[in-house]
Structure formats: C-alpha cells, structure tokens
Structure 1
Amino acid sequence: MSALFNFSSLLQVILLLICSCTYVHTQWPSLLDRYKEHEALGAFWKMARLGERASPYVSLACILMALNQFMS
C-alpha cells in the first residue's frame, strides 16, 4: 500500500522528511539555503525550518510514531 493512501504512513514519511531536512541543514546550511526562493526545492528548506523551530514537538511526534510502530 502506498504511503499516500495510509494516513499513518503519510505522517511517518512527513516526519522523516522533516528530520532529514533539518539534519542536512545543520550539517550543510548552504545546500538548502541556495534553494530558499525556489518553488519546488524551497519546500525542503521550509521543512528544515519547521524542524529547527518546532524541534520539541517534532521529537515528541517521532517518539509517538516509534511507539505506534512497536505496538502494531
């Protein structure tokens, strides 16, 4: 089943994308900063900013998703 049709999988993909973009931005900031104004690639920069600014909530969501995976 595709992650687009399963809500739990979609949330998991979005959380992993936010975490990955945040990690890439902390290691190589110029990589995402150069595409800040680009329409399609700017979404990765926005996800990195979301991960930086809402990191306690993103971390809590990752923990809850991990517990959900262990329980199922």
Structure 2
Amino acid sequence: QTALFNFQSLLLVILLLVCTSTYLHAVAPGLLDRNKDGVFGIFWKFARVGERLSPYVSLCCVLMA
C-alpha cells in the first residue's frame, strides 16, 4: 500500500504490471483474451501497452533499474 503514496514506487508497480501482463499474454494468450471486459480487463490493456510500446517499456525498465 505504500507504493501508492510514493510516485517512483507507483511507476515501478505499473511497469512491472505491464511487463508481467505482456509476458503472460505471450505465454497463454487465451487467458487474457477472454477477460477483455470487467475487472481483469485492465491486465489485457496492460498487455496491449506492453506489446505496442515495447521499445519504450524496455527503456523504462533500464531507467528504473
């Protein structure tokens, strides 16, 4: 819960969610594709961001490291 109050930690959590969702979509695409709507749809959206903006996401990973 403290990651929500610290801006750098919030960015790190979002970046990890994007990377994890993208990897999960690459390994098991049906898992995220059937949950496009609802609460779990946010992970599908994170996976789309990770797939389409992968050079920028990887650059952010390097900068956060």
Displacement after TM superposition at 1:46 (Å): 0.3
Q: Paired residues, what number?
A: 65
Could you report, residue by residue, the CA deviation over 1:20-63 in whole angstroms, capped at 9, with x for unpaired residues? 000000000000001012x2100000000000000000000010
Tell me which amino acid in the other structure corresponds to 1:60. Answer: L
Displacement after TM superposition at 1:8 (Å): 0.2
Partner of 1:4: 4
- Note the residue ranges of structure 2 that are not aligned, 5 or more in a row: none
Partner of 1:70: none
- Quick check: which has more Rg, 1 or 2? 1
For the pair 1:20 / 2:20, whether they are aligned, the reply is yes
- Note the residue ranges of structure 1 that are not aligned, 5 or more in a row: 67-72
Displacement after TM superposition at 1:9 (Å): 0.3
The CA distance in 1 between the partners of 2:10 and 2:41, in whole Å, is: 20
Q: Secondary structure at the match of 2:2?
A: coil
| RMSD (Å) for aligned C-alpha atoms | 1.0
Q: Secondary structure at the match of 1:3?
A: helix
For the pair 1:55 / 2:16, whether they are aligned, the reply is no
Report the TM-score when normalising by structure 2.
Answer: 0.96
Tell me which amino acid in the other structure corresponds to 1:19. Answer: C
Report the TM-score when normalising by structure 1.
Answer: 0.87
Moved over 6 A (4+): none
